[in-house]
Structure 1
Amino acid sequence: MSMWADWWHETSKPSPHCNEAEVNACISTIAFLEDDYLKRKVEFVAEIHALLEPGDKARADAVLEDLEILYPVLKDTGFLKRVMEGDGGAFVGLRGKLPQV
């Protein structure tokens, strides 16, 4: 939130007083944080699926279905299918889709 507040504060200034370097730094940092958040969420869901699958396959699959609804791009990469199959290389093919992977 503080990064967004810094960006807002800087972009709210009149043009001659706005520091473009700081604005650009804030924008790139916010983009990195968004990508990192998505990566962590995907990793967490994959771990939850692995924990639930042996005892409750239906709930494990429901967790992946919820992730697919939130991020449909993951279905196109084959990630969800690889996780369901228990493939150790589930994250292969996500480069460019999830920049931090």
Structure 2
Amino acid sequence: MREIAFGLLLAAAIVVTAFLAAMWPEPGRPLVAFFPAGSSARAMSEAVARAGGSLLDIDTGSATITTIADDAGFPTALYRSGAWLVLDGSVAQLCARFRRWRT
């Protein structure tokens, strides 16, 4: 029984690691940053400005912002500026399309 639990846990860890590696943003491509719930548009746009990026879209309802920058350290700078999660924009856009399709 322990072997099965270990195998399932290891498989889940591999899937999560592969998912996060695929979602890591690339320089020069749009990315989506998730901020704490209730963040204002001003606070999120200031965080992008501090990190050195350009603003593409703001969604205050879900506290997300779509942005772009050429610097390879931009995702890390967004984390330092207050973002909770930074993902590749193409994958995040697929999630948004799926959400619109379901409603």
TM over 0.5: no
Larger helix share, 1 or 2: 1
TM-score (norm 1): 0.38
Larger strand share, 1 or 2: 2
Question: Using CA pairs below 8 Å that are at least 6 residues apart, which structure has the higher relative contact order?
Answer: 2
Query: Which protein has the larger Cα radius of gyration, Structure 1 or Structure 2?
Result: 1
